[in-house]
Amino acid sequence: MGDPIPGIDRRRALAAAMATGAAAAITTHAPILASKGNDVTDTANDTSSYSAIAMQLTARSLERLPDEAAARAAMLDHIASIEGQIRTSSIFVTQYAGKPVKLAVLPEYLFTSYPGRISIPDFAAKVGWAADGPEYEALGGVAQRLGMFIAGNAYESDAAFPDFYFQTCFIVAPNGDVVLRYRRLLSMFAPSPHDVWEAYLDRYGLEGTFPVARTEIGNLAAIASEEVLYPEIARALAMRGAEVFCHSSSEVGSPIATNKDIAKQARAFENLAYVVSSNTAGISGTAMPLSSAEGNSQVVDWKGRVIAQSGDGETFTAFGGIDLGALREARRTPAMTNYLARQRPELFAAAYAAAAEPFHGPDGMMSDGKPAIPDRDYFRRAQAEVIERLDKAGII
């Protein structure tokens, strides 16, 4: 046997931990949250069947606002405005479908849009949400008054990584607490926890990197935007017990099946999990045509069937029933269609680790042991370097 490949020991250990911990997580539905120690299961009001709604709303760009104060005021105003939209939509859905709405999923970067060419430190300072900041407090109040879980996506600052932002998926419980905080791992143009990997794991651990929230409406997890195209992320969350994937996105909708649409169905049936996917209804405040990223919000059941899908514009029409009883029965039934139980994670762990070296490695934004902010062109250069290494390795 040859020598171990340098630099992958920790990655191999993490892969093994994921593999060996998967069965226990699925069996016990263990709560794995970014805010450790929180279990928001309300056993007195267990809800195994309910409605979920993907709110297709217009994202508002803040790039033209003059300063942080104006941006913060605009975000709080936007948060306040969605309460009425969710409330009236959920009343209609409850009356129409007969099941109360217990989960509302918001689109990707609804309250800010994307950063464009704004530098990472400037964007973090202008619109980054602090974990204890007023934006989460405001959303908590909305969730409390509506009596439901609200999932969404925002850019967060983190005192442990000064001047950075992380694109973050969150879930706010009906008691107003943030019960899940997932930082996007794969992004073409944004910092990832993997870019500061050792420091991030030291601070948040694997549980904070792949969080799953155990709640009375099921085990909830989040997937950000195009991450739905990568089966490893959904599988890692499913192996930790996830039953409902909250997918916040801003994508090009089309009557022709897009890559993301196909992936949503695949992530659902291969993990026996629901996908509630919310797209933007366009992005306002930019030079880009308004409706360039809208449409096709959808709910996909655990068999991979699209049970509801929106057209264009602001709408709540992507709503559907979540039947946890049927999902859990399927996961516990020996069958060829029980793809989650038939998986053998340990079989692939060594192959992944052995092939990792040419790909984008960890800690690319660390310098002398400290987080280092790159320029905007770093991301394209980093991918070009990966392609060159893959070519040299004979992979492409």
pTM over 0.85: yes
Specify if 386 maps to a domain.
Answer: no
Specify if 369 maps to a domain.
Answer: no
Specify if 321 maps to a domain.
Answer: yes
Q: What is the pLDDT of residues 161-179, one digit of tens each?
A: 999 999 999 999 999 999 9
Cβ 218 vs Cβ 272: under 8 Å: no
Q: Which domain holds residue 190?
A: 9-351
Specify if 16 maps to a domain.
Answer: yes
Specify if 222 maps to a domain.
Answer: yes
* Whole-number Å distance between alpha carbons of 339 and 172: 30
Specify if 17 maps to a domain.
Answer: yes
Counted domains in the chain: 1
Specify if 2 maps to a domain.
Answer: no
User: Mean pLDDT across the stretch 276-301?
Assistant: 95
User: Mean pLDDT across the stretch 310-331?
Assistant: 97
Cβ 112 vs Cβ 154: under 8 Å: yes
Q: What is the pLDDT of residues 92-145, one digit of tens each?
A: 999 999 999 999 999 999 999 999 889 999 999 999 999 999 999 999 999 999
Q: Which residue has the tokens 């992005």?
A: 283
Phi, then psi, of 52 in degrees rounded to 5: -120, 150
* Whole-number Å distance between alpha carbons of 352 and 372: 28
Q: What is the pLDDT of residues 22-71, one digit of tens each?
A: 433 433 333 324 444 355 555 445 578 999 999 999 999 999 999 999 99
Provide, rounded to the nearest whole percent, the portion of the chain with pLDDT above 90: 85
Q: What's 266's domain CATH number?
A: 3.60.110.10
**Mean residue pLDDT across the chain:** 90
Specify if 372 maps to a domain.
Answer: no
